[in-house]
Structure 1
Amino acid sequence: MKDGKNIRCNQKIFVAENSILPDPSTNDNYAIRLASRNGHADIVKYLLSQERVDPSALDNYAVRYASWKGHVEVVKLLLADSRVDPGADYSFAIRVASADGHVEVVKLLLADSRVDPGDLCNQAIRDASRKMHVEVVKLLLGDSRVDPGDWDNEAIRDASEEGHEELVKLLLADYRVDPGADYNYAIRKACRNGHIEVVKLLLAHNWVHPGDLFNEAIRDAFQNGHVEVVKLLLADPRVDPKALNY
């Protein structure tokens, strides 16, 4: 009891019938920003009901960080508020959600027309590919605004270098992807790292030349002891076996 007014505590938020509480929008709406970042959906819901609270404060910090942390229910609540712009900061929300593999959050954001999944040279799919988030890549490939061949085909270059067979298959199925980009970087790095299944996939593609950069692929595979990869390359007429004598 305080000043005769009944106050009850509910998950660190004081709710009072007579509005004796501090302004919940203080410190640039710190309350909803912190609750969103930490995934407290019930608190976010309560704060959204308060007229003084602005969920778009600090360039839509709340939805950006809720997306980054993968808090699906919080993201849903925030997207339902017309003041929130999930496309803020070059669609930061979907870029970080994709990079961290938050599939359900990515789905929610893709359904919002204010979000551009192709922002910043298609960073979303590039980062998702680099971190091997297959389901996220599938979602992004289904959006016409996404170009998986952007940034000199970084997506397939990274997937090949890391040896992610399923992801390489996905990307090769898209006509916008050039697996021979950057002097056949994809097959050169796949061979260097001994990713034989990825090498097989790349060798079957017409745009790939395994002899690029003075047959670097077979030289690196040989130097790193990847015997089966070397055998595969020697069976390809575009590869010069004399390169092993360099």
Structure 2
Amino acid sequence: METATTGRIHSWDLSTGVDGPGTRFVLFVSGCPLRCLYCANPDTWHLRDGRQATVDEVMTEIEKYRRFVSVAGGGVTLTGGEPLLQSAFTGALLRRCKEAGLHTALDTSGLLGARATDELLADTDLVLLDIKAFDIATYRKLTGGALAPSLTFATRLDRLGIPVWIRYVLVPGWTDDPAAVDGLGAFLAGLGNVDRVDVLPFHKLGASKYDALGIPFPLRDNPVPEPATTERVREQFRAHGLAAH
């Protein structure tokens, strides 16, 4: 049973620039309701695969790096998996990080956005919102989930005035359709809280994890995007007045 003080985590790492501003302590929380065909972290899918940890234990680890990440203009990012699958634990961690004076970021698909209480979001300085596709049928085939909750969550974040970085994984044959990209660009341009859009080229760096787990990597034979395609998609977002990287 989920409690506010205990959760299941996969691992943690330090990163710069890709998981929010500055150098960040990135905590990978276990468990995810989606099965994205391009997922690079299949080892985070199941709660049972993580190790149990208390909020105090995680904060003790974060404290070792608090000065370093603060001086580097960073903070703490909760990712996964899907942090909102363990929303009470995630909320408690965000609260403790805010009390410690750390910038907080939440990386989420938005599928479980309804689980994010206003109190949890009040302790979140930045949301990294992964919008997997903008065509409803494509989203379902690509992730096994529904698009609508992510868009509803995006609208709610705008209403609350919480800054958002959009993450969009560019997968040839799946998320590179110009009309769908324009549709997403128009939707995002209608929000007032989108600071940037990160177009992330699909890669196969997680293939070895699938091999180790003995499960097939669905997009093993799918091509990676050409640089020209990646730039074209970024330009489409820029055409809507969005800062695309």
TM-score past 0.5 threshold: no
Q: TM-score, normalised by structure 1?
A: 0.33
Query: Which structure has the greater CA radius of gyration?
Result: 1
**Higher helix content, 1 or 2:** 1
Higher strand share: 2
Query: Greater relative contact order: 1 or 2 (C-alpha under 8 angstroms, separation 6 or more)?
Result: 2
Q: If the length of structure 2 is used for normalisation, what is the TM-score?
A: 0.33
